[in-house]
Every structure is written in structure tokens, then in C-alpha cells.
Structure 1
Amino acid sequence: MADAEKPDATMQEMAAPAVTLTCEPVFSEDEPTTVYDVQWRTLMAILALSMANVCAAIANTTNTIIRSQVADLGDSALSSWVANSNLLVTLAFGPVLGSLSDRFGKKWFIIVASVFGIVGSVIAGSAHKTTTIIAGNVLTGLANAGCIMGVPAAQEVTPNRLRPWTMGFSQALASVAVIAGTLGAGAFVKYQTWRWSYYLNAFVYGTTTVLVTSFYHPPPPGLRRQRTTVGELLARVDYLGILLLTGSIASLLIGLTWGGTTYAWHAAPVLATLIVGCVGLVVFGVYEWRGTAHGIFDHRLFQSRNFPILLFVCVVDGMLLLGVNVLFAQEIAATFTTDSVKIATVLTPFLATSAFGCLPAGIIMARTKSYRTLLVCCLLWCSLFTGLMALLNDKRLSWAYAFSALFGAGTAVTTVIPVVALALSVPSFLLGTAGTISVSCRALGGIIGITIFTAIYDNKMATALPADVGAVLAQNGLSDLIPAVLAALATESPTALEGVQGLPASLIPTVAAAQATANSWSWKYVWIAISVIVAANAIVSCFLEPVASKMNNHIESALEVSDVRDKQMGTHV
């Protein structure tokens, strides 16, 4: 091994022999034998690829104004599909496109996906039916399945030792865009129309298309560079795995979305789709384990135990980040204000600390070459302050600002660090597969979180609201009005109680206060559940392996003019 390829003394000290023997992955990735300087080509490509990540992030900001969309177009029973249609398609197709991109390259997948995003956003923005919004979101979900490849693609064009910086920047940019998108969505609802939120997303997709086309010119992917023909790559595509995975996930998520809304949980359509989805995933898992070595879940991904652990971490992070983003907006509307701009304002501290903590998280990992302790501590931090969110009520708005800002700072770390650690724990030529699987796990976590937490809230509210409102009416000898009052409250209209015949106007504030009490009591259990799940995630993260030995000068996809790029392009003499 040449001197230029030897790890420095610091890295040798950090990777003690006892740890190296048990934890070092068995695959080998050589460092460049000549100096590789990161210059403007790489920086502009990172910006362009980070914009693809922005597309996937900002598309979810329209979920904070679902109430306004449904109120305008009707079909409130379909409201859960407005959010889940996007996430479902992203989750089902993300790993598939990621696997294909590792074989055929990522550039055109991202560009075509961005065009789908433009079309889907315009369709949703111009919709006159809720079903049309859902159709548009299906297209943007497919777009996001391609755009999330911006994350692994940005990691590929960056030397391993600098990947935490790249991910920190990429996620910070996406988080800032989410803040702007959330505030913009609220302002559009209040001063113009919710449609402009979708048109803003279309503009972002369009900008990404131009940037990626102009500045991202990668060499052939690693698997293609292994002297493999296109025909051989096509023959090795895991077609059966793709069919099993997409079909099973679609069936499972349709059941989760139907349950408790369109149908009761014990209804035949819900049970059938859930059973088919679960059985299909089991069959998919057995097939990937025993039927093929190079399927979607390529066996080389599991050469370190970090991969399965970090996928679990990403699922819980999705429950925290995506689930909380949707549900916290609903709690704000139910507890503090229905003004769309004020809802976005209350969300801002959580989004802001989550955004501005991303780059520092990446810097800390890059400089220390360590991540496990930081990740575990931040997960425990998030567990503490999501637990304290259980104390919120309509008189404690300042507590909502403080607690959400504090656990938002923790989510910055849980968003950045696991993705970088995962990228350093798998072969770089499989980054597209690993990266899209991790993002899909986040989407899965978001859907599971929204489903579970909504079910907890609905179950608690179904008990608390009749009891609290019924107590108020009974004390005033109006027990016969309980069904009518509950029906009025279910409409969520601020003036609905005024239309209940026989209900004195003087009693309306007392009934509203009873509703607020039941609401706070129900949300308390949602936050307790979130806190417990995040704490469990911290315990699991204690078993992660170090990645310091992989934070070297290896570059998977060289963009700068250099011997490394010449070799990867096949022009090296």
C-alpha cells in the first residue's frame, strides 16, 4: 500500500485493532493515488443535487394546509389520501429507482422525475376536486422517488471524509425551503389561495431540472465501470423483487390509510389489504434473502450491521419529522388558532432549529469522525422534549414554542447523521439503493406515525369528548342535547354550536372549554407515544458501529478534471 493510501495516525488511533477486526466492512474502496481537489464543478453539482432533495422536502409543505384544500373542494373523507398518496408512491418506488440508478446512472432519473413533479404540482394546483389533488400528488410522489436520489448522488461526488459537510448543507437547504414553503402555504391560504403553494413547488421542480441538467455530469456508475454491458445490467435487474415490494407496500399502505377513516379497522377491505401487504413483504424478504444475492436489498449492503440498524433509525426519524410536522399542525389548529399564517408561525421554531442545526451536525461528525454518542444523546433529547409536549393546553402557547424548538434541534442531528453513517457503511457503488431505501424508510415512518398517532388521538377523543361535554350539559339539565352538540362539534365549524336548538348562548363558552380540555388530554397520549418510540430508537442506536476508518479520500463519482475522473470515464492511459 502506498504511503498516500495509509490512514493517518489519528484514524489509526480511533480504529483500535479489537474494533477493526469485528467492525470493518469486508469490501475495499481505494483512495486516489493523486490529489483530488474539490472545485466549482463539484460545488455546483452539490447545489443542484441538493435542490433535488429540496423538491422532495418542500412537496410535503402542502400537507400543512390540507384542511383548507378539503374545505374548498369537499370530500373530507379523502383528506388522509392528500398526504399519503405522495408518501405511498415515494415509498413504493424509491428503492426501485435507486437500485436501477446504481446500474444506469442517476442524472436522467432525477431530471425526468423533476418534470413529473412540475406536471403533478400544476395538476394539484389547478384541481377542482379533491380526487384531482390526489392524482397530482401521485405524480409528485413518483417525482420525489427520483428526486431523493439527489442525496446519494451528492454523497457520491464528495470525498468520503467530506460527506458530512455535504449532507449537512443539503439537509439545511431543504429545511430552510420547508420553512419558506410552510410559511408561504399559510400566507397563500390567508391572502390568495392554497393553489399557489403547489405552483411554488412546480417552480422549484423546474429550477432543479435546469440545475441538474447544467451542472451534474457524472462518470458511469460503479457497477457499470466493472466492465458490465447494458444487457447484463438489464438481466440482473430484480424484476420479481420490484413487483413484490411495490405491490406489497401499496397494499399495506392503502389498508393503513383506509383504516379508521374510509372504513372501520375491522372491515373486510382494510383487513384484506393489510394481510396481503404483510404477507407480500414477508415473501419479498424471504426472496431477497434466499432467492437472490443482488436484488433490491443487495446482500453487500449487510456487510455491516449498521445498515439494518440505521434503517430502523430512519423509520423512527420519519415518524418524528414527517409525522410530527403533519400532526403538530393539526394540534395547533385544534388548540390555539385556525388562522393559517399563525399555524405556520407556531410551527416555525421547530422547523427553524431543525434547519439551522443540520450543518453544525455535519461539521461535528466531519471533524470528530464519530457519530454514535451524538446521535444517541440527541435521540434522548428529542424523547425528553416530545414528552414535555404532552403538557400543552390552550393556555400554554409559549410552551409549544419552547418545547418544539428544543426537540427540533435534536431532529437536525437525527436527520443528517444517520444518512451519512449509512452511506459510509455500505459499498459506494450501492449508494443509490441504500440512500433511497433509507429515505423510503423515513416516508414509511411518516405514514406509520400519522396512522398510529391519529388512531391514538381519535380513540382518546372518542372517550373524553362525550364525557367532558356530557358532564357540562348534564349539570345544566340538558343531557338530551348531547348528541346534537357532539354532532355540531364534529363539523369543526366555529359557529356550529350556535345552530344547536335549545343550547343557551351563555353555555357555549363552557362547552367549548370542555372540548378544549378533551382535546389537550387526547393529544397528551400522542406525545407520550412519540417520546417512548424515540427513546427506544436511542437504545437501538447504541449498537451502531464506528465509520471513522471509511472517512478517507475515496471519491465514487469524480467531477473535477483529474486522473481519478479519467479512470472512471474509461479514458485513463
Structure 2
Amino acid sequence: MLQTENGSDAVTKEADECPPSEPSDVPDEALERRAHLHAKTFLAVFAVLLIYFAQLVSLVGAGAQGQTIAAHFGSPTSVVWFTGPITILTVVLGPIFSHAADYWGRKWFLIVPTVLGGAGSIIVGRASSIGMCISGFTVIGIAFGAQPLLHTVTSEVLPRRWRGYGQAADMVSNSTGSIFGLLVGGALNRTNDPESDGFRSYFYIAMAIYFLAAVLCFFAYNPPRTEIQRRLTHREKLANLDWIGYILLAAGLVLFCIALSFFKNPFEFGDPHVAATFAVGLALAVVLIVYETYFKKDGMFHHGLFTGNRNFSLSLFCVFAEGIAFFAANNYFAFQVGVLYETDAVLVGARYSIMLISASAGAVLTGWYCAVFKKVRWATVLAFAIFVAFFACMATSDLETDTPVWGYPVLLGFALGMTLTTLVTVAQLSTPPELIAIASGLIISIRSLGGTIGIAIYNALFNDAMSHMGDNIATAVIPEGLSPDDLGDFIVALTAHNSSALASIPGVTPEVAQAGIVAMLNTYVQGFQHVWTAAACFVALATIVSALLFDPREEFNNRIDAPVEKTSELYDT
């Protein structure tokens, strides 16, 4: 139950009551009677799906175009801080927005962050330096704090039996936004030319989608106020938020990510830049765990979420692993294809789009399966097993596997669509209806936490492999006749893809150039393989853990937790 640790007894009494999950006049037989949904409900769902679409357009822009944007500003090592702020702010703001939305309502916590997403897109589009660009992505990240509420609304305005369909719709919106981003981004800069300003036009388009989504949500989503929203004062509502937990989470996560971003870039782990920052971040995480366990039982890790059954806890672990897996694919699949197999950005986007189309198909089929058979367990196990198969295949890819890599995204897509649909569904059905927003906030934040940690780990592994680039090239070209005195200039010209500078270096023959190119690409192969192997380990463990889930069949009923229509309209015979 919601409690406050400070303030008057009156405040405590008010806060002890959880936000009601549905109006009091909803008939008990609604658990079995079918509601008659109308356009008002479906327009509300569409409005939040468009917000999801906008978020994925900007996320794909930060990921798939990140290398090109960073090179445009002459700071390729800063690419981690394009997606980093987005994932960090999703983790930090998700629980805050989800908890606060129970007291002030969902609507403005959807609209205001979405408008800020549009503002951040403008900043990126007009960026004149790498710092300004990162600032823009940070503002965009605020929009992602509303992501848990997107999953909440698509679930609570529909019958519980349709939870799978609602989460499948979120996944389809996710996929279509990503496909749009990949193809439009590729069309605006087909050769990944760092000098191109195509990314500016891309983020202006993202801005327009954000603003359109905000306007549509304003007019289409108008839920009735709950009793607790009307009764508590603003001061009482603010007192119930988990401010200490939010601060500990934000500080610990940022320091942890900064430490891992410094690792091999250029510091070793024993360097104070890495070790000290990592230690402080880890210490804050330990303090957070102790605080949320013993001192704040109604915060972002609300104890009511964990006292029902084991499904919610297992879902958290599995979605953490899924977040690690998704961000490996989001940041490195298109990167690998662009480096090893394709020079046309549209074809790179087309390959990744195969995954997204498959994800939509997997989500729809899984949503249907959940609704009809009222089961989630073995579908989740199968999804993670498919994840393992994908990463195993990618870990064996090299310069000679161009054709097979066209097919591997099908595995990734089905795994992604299936896991998100089942895990969010089972997590929401395993918690009290009044805690659905907090539960969704925690699920999405833990997923992003997995992505945040995963990105840092992957960048450390990838940078470690790339640190051997010079030695690998030297080993390949010196036996071919290149003078060691010219090696430095050769490496600089080769890695910059500067063919004119390469041709001006004495002793550079076609054989020397080819040997250098192969050595450079094989270094990339090693880096990519390290990433895929690490991701495979995480999802392999999640495959085992997901088998411990059970099917909450009795929760797949016709109850609507927070309808946007009047009860008389829903159940009018």
C-alpha cells in the first residue's frame, strides 16, 4: 500500500489508499461480461502508439546514425553518449513519471515529455558541436521517461484478456517507427558520409512526429480523474514520491556508465577515471538496494509488486536480459552490416528492417496466442531460445557471411516481438491493478537499465578489440613491403577511408592496401564477435530463468482496469 514516511497522520491516511484501478460503479460481472469498446478507446490507444513511433524514430537515429553523426563533429568516441542519455533517462524518469501519474493523471506525463522530445530533435538538427548534439539527445531522453505509461495505457484501457494484443500493438508501433527511421535516415545519407547534413533533416522530421503525437494525445486521450487525484493536495502527492531513491538511482547509474565508457577509451580499469567512478557508482547502487528494501517500502520498488507471486520478479530479470539483447542489436547490427557488407545506407536499413518486420509478426502471433490460450510461459522460453540462436549465429559471422546475415534478423525479430509481448503482459497481470503504472515503470526502467549497462559493456569489449587495430594492420602490411616509418600515415589514411592520402604514401601497392583493408575489417569482426558472444551469455541465462514462470490464466478476463469510456457505454446491453 502507498504510505508516506513524513508529514501528518492525515497525509498518511490519505496515502495509504492506492489509486483505484477502476470506477466504483463497474459491475462485478465485468470480469466475464464483454465490454463494447468504441472509437474513443481505440483513438486513445492510437495516440499513445504514435508517441511510441516518435520515440523509436529518434532512438534509431541515435543508434544507426550515431557513428556518422559523431564523425561529422570529429568525435567518434562520443557516440556512446547519443543513446546513453536516452537509456539513462528512461531508467531514471520512468519510475518517477509512472508513480506521479497515479496522483496527477497520465495525460500530461505523456504530452509534456513528448513536446520535449520534439524540442530535443530541434537541438540535434541545429547542433554546431558535439556537446550541443549530446545536449539535444539528452532532452530527447526526457520523452522516454513516458515510455512505461505507453505500455500502461494500452493495457489498462482494454480488457485484461486483450493484454497480449495491447502489448503487441506497442511492439508493432515500435517496429514501424524503427523501420521508418532506418529507411528515411538511409535515404538522407546513403553513403554514411560524415560531411553530410542528412541527419539534420532526419531530426527535423522526428520533431514533426513528436509534435503531431502530442497534439493527438491532447485531443484523443481524456481519462476520468480518479478519486485519489481529486482528494490529495499537491503537497501530499509530492511527499509520497520516492525522492531519495530517484537521486540514488540517477547518481549511481550515471557514474557506473561513465566508468565503463572510460574503460579502454582510453583508460585501463585500474586508472582512477575508471576505478574510482565505478566504485562510487556501485556503492550508491548498494545504498539504493538497502534503502528500498528496509526504509522505503512504497517507492519505485513497491513491495506490493513482489508479495503476490514469483512472476513479477522473474519478469524483471528476463526483461533486464532482453534489454541487454535489444541494445546489442540496435547499436551493432547495422554497424556491422555497414562496415563489412554494405556501402549503401538504404540497404543497411533494409537488412535491419527485416528484423523489425519479423518482430511485428512475432508480436501479433504471440498476442493472439496469449489472448486465446491464456498462456505466456513457453512462448517466453521459446523467444529467449531464439535470441540465443541469433547471437550464436552472429558470433560466427565474418567477412564471408554476407548472405547468411540477410537471414539472421528474422530470428532476432521474432525473439524481440515475442519477449516484449509476453513479459510485459505477465508482469502486469501478476501485480495489483492499482500498481500497474508503477509495475510498468519498473519493467521498462529495468529493461533500459539492462540496455544502459549492456551498451557500456559492449563498448568496452568493442573498444578493447579496436585497440589492437594498429598492431593488426602492422602485422599484415609490413611483410608486404610497407616501410615501418610510413606505418602511422598508412593507418591514419586507411581508417579514415582517405584513398588519395593512401595513394601518396611511398611503397603502397595494391597488395599492401588490400592486406591493410583485410586486417582492419578483421579487427572489426573480432570486436563484433565479442559483443555478440557477451549478449548470447545473458539471454542464455534468461532462457533458463523464464522456464520458472507460470501462466496466470485466471487473470486473462474481461475486466478493464481504467476505461476511458463511461461504464454505461461499455456495458450497455
Regarding TM over 0.5, the answer is: yes
| Cα distance change, pair 516–254 in 1 and its aligned pair in 2 (3 A) | closer
| Cα distance change, pair 561–457 in 1 and its aligned pair in 2 (3 A) | same
After alignment, is 60-69 or 27-36 more displaced?
27-36
Corresponding residue number in structure 2 for 1:213: 218
Corresponding residue number in structure 1 for 2:162: 162
> For the Cα contact (< 8 Å) 1:117–1:139, is it kept in 2?
yes
Q: Work out whether 1:196 is the aligned partner of 2:201.
A: yes
Report the CA distance between 1:43 and its aligned residue: 0.9
How do residues 316-331 of structure 1 correspond to structure 2 at under 5 angstroms? Answer: 316-331=321-336
SS of corresponding position for 2:554: helix
Q: Work out whether 1:258 is the aligned partner of 2:257.
A: no
| Cα distance change, pair 464–130 in 1 and its aligned pair in 2 (3 A) | closer
Corresponding residue number in structure 2 for 1:70: 70
Distance in 2 separating the partners of 1:124 and 1:393: 34
> For the Cα contact (< 8 Å) 1:222–1:556, is it kept in 2?
no
| Cα distance change, pair 517–99 in 1 and its aligned pair in 2 (3 A) | same
SS of corresponding position for 2:386: helix
> For the Cα contact (< 8 Å) 2:37–2:570, is it kept in 1?
no
CA deviation string 1:320-347 (max 9, x = no partner)? 2122111112212221134322321222
Corresponding residue number in structure 2 for 1:268: 272
1:33 alignment partner, one of 6, 29, 34: 29
CA deviation string 1:224-250 (max 9, x = no partner)? 48x655543332222222222222222
Distance in 1 separating the partners of 2:146 and 2:442: 12
After alignment, is 522-531 or 466-475 more displaced?
466-475
> For the Cα contact (< 8 Å) 1:84–1:257, is it kept in 2?
no
1:352 alignment partner, one of 351, 354, 357: 357
Q: Work out whether 1:131 is the aligned partner of 2:136.
A: no
**How many residue pairs are counted as aligned between the two chains?**
539
Q: Work out whether 1:291 is the aligned partner of 2:295.
A: yes
Corresponding residue number in structure 1 for 2:377: 372
Under a length normalisation based on structure 1, what TM-score does the superposition of the two structures give? 0.88
Corresponding residue number in structure 2 for 1:301: 305
SS of corresponding position for 1:149: helix
Corresponding residue number in structure 1 for 2:140: 140
2:454 alignment partner, one of 449, 458, 461: 449
Distance in 2 separating the partners of 1:184 and 1:477: 42
> For the Cα contact (< 8 Å) 2:261–2:460, is it kept in 1?
no
> For the Cα contact (< 8 Å) 2:472–2:520, is it kept in 1?
no
Distance in 1 separating the partners of 2:82 and 2:168: 30
Report the CA distance between 1:485 and its aligned residue: 3.5
Corresponding residue number in structure 1 for 2:15: none
After alignment, is 143-152 or 42-51 more displaced?
143-152
| Cα distance change, pair 222–530 in 1 and its aligned pair in 2 (3 A) | farther
| Cα distance change, pair 385–237 in 1 and its aligned pair in 2 (3 A) | closer
Amino acid at match of 1:334: V
After alignment, is 480-489 or 437-446 more displaced?
480-489
CA deviation string 1:484-515 (max 9, x = no partner)? 44444443545553344333344211221232
Corresponding residue number in structure 2 for 1:546: 551
Q: Work out whether 1:513 is the aligned partner of 2:513.
A: no
> For the Cα contact (< 8 Å) 2:480–2:511, is it kept in 1?
no
Q: CA RMSD in A?
A: 2.6
Amino acid at match of 2:383: C
Corresponding residue number in structure 2 for 1:4: none
Corresponding residue number in structure 2 for 1:241: 245
Report the CA distance between 1:377 and its aligned residue: 1.2
> For the Cα contact (< 8 Å) 2:98–2:437, is it kept in 1?
yes
Corresponding residue number in structure 2 for 1:17: none
SS of corresponding position for 1:151: helix
Displacement over 4 Å in runs of 4+: 27-31, 221-225, 227-231, 477-484, 492-496, 563-566
> For the Cα contact (< 8 Å) 1:53–1:151, is it kept in 2?
no
1:525 alignment partner, one of 510, 530, 545: 530
Amino acid at match of 2:130: T
Amino acid at match of 2:41: T
Report the CA distance between 1:481 and its aligned residue: 4.6
> For the Cα contact (< 8 Å) 1:113–1:143, is it kept in 2?
yes
Report the CA distance between 1:209 and its aligned residue: 0.8
SS of corresponding position for 1:553: coil
SS of corresponding position for 1:455: helix
Q: Work out whether 1:100 is the aligned partner of 2:103.
A: no
| Cα distance change, pair 517–32 in 1 and its aligned pair in 2 (3 A) | same
Distance in 2 separating the partners of 1:320 and 1:160: 28
After alignment, is 389-398 or 311-320 more displaced?
389-398
Corresponding residue number in structure 2 for 1:182: 182
SS of corresponding position for 2:37: coil
Amino acid at match of 1:59: S
How do residues 429-508 of structure 1 correspond to structure 2 at under 5 angstroms? Answer: 429-463=434-468, 466-467=471-472, 469-474=474-479, 476=481, 478-479=483-484, 481-491=486-496, 493=498, 497-508=502-513
SS of corresponding position for 2:528: helix
Report the CA distance between 1:53 and its aligned residue: 2.1
Distance in 2 separating the partners of 1:373 and 1:82: 36
Report the CA distance between 1:64 and its aligned residue: 0.7
Distance in 2 separating the partners of 1:487 and 1:376: 47
CA deviation string 1:360-387 (max 9, x = no partner)? 1111111111111111012112201220
Amino acid at match of 2:149: M
After alignment, is 444-453 or 202-211 more displaced?
444-453
After alignment, is 371-380 or 554-563 more displaced?
554-563
Report the CA distance between 1:138 and its aligned residue: 0.8
> For the Cα contact (< 8 Å) 1:55–1:147, is it kept in 2?
no
| Cα distance change, pair 221–306 in 1 and its aligned pair in 2 (3 A) | farther
Corresponding residue number in structure 1 for 2:151: 151
Distance in 2 separating the partners of 1:432 and 1:413: 22
| Cα distance change, pair 186–309 in 1 and its aligned pair in 2 (3 A) | same
Identity %: 26
| Cα distance change, pair 114–288 in 1 and its aligned pair in 2 (3 A) | same
SS of corresponding position for 2:328: helix
Distance in 1 separating the partners of 2:505 and 2:499: 13
After alignment, is 73-82 or 479-488 more displaced?
479-488
Amino acid at match of 2:154: A
After alignment, is 336-345 or 177-186 more displaced?
336-345
Corresponding residue number in structure 1 for 2:42: 43
Q: Which runs of 5+ in 2 are unaligned?
A: 1-19, 191-195
After alignment, is 256-265 or 57-66 more displaced?
256-265
Report the CA distance between 1:434 and its aligned residue: 1.5
Distance in 2 separating the partners of 1:495 and 1:557: 65
| Cα distance change, pair 429–318 in 1 and its aligned pair in 2 (3 A) | same
> For the Cα contact (< 8 Å) 2:322–2:450, is it kept in 1?
yes
SS of corresponding position for 1:443: helix
Distance in 1 separating the partners of 2:182 and 2:189: 11
Report the CA distance between 1:49 and its aligned residue: 1.5
Distance in 2 separating the partners of 1:312 and 1:492: 43
Amino acid at match of 1:517: N
Report the CA distance between 1:221 and its aligned residue: 4.5
| Cα distance change, pair 564–311 in 1 and its aligned pair in 2 (3 A) | farther
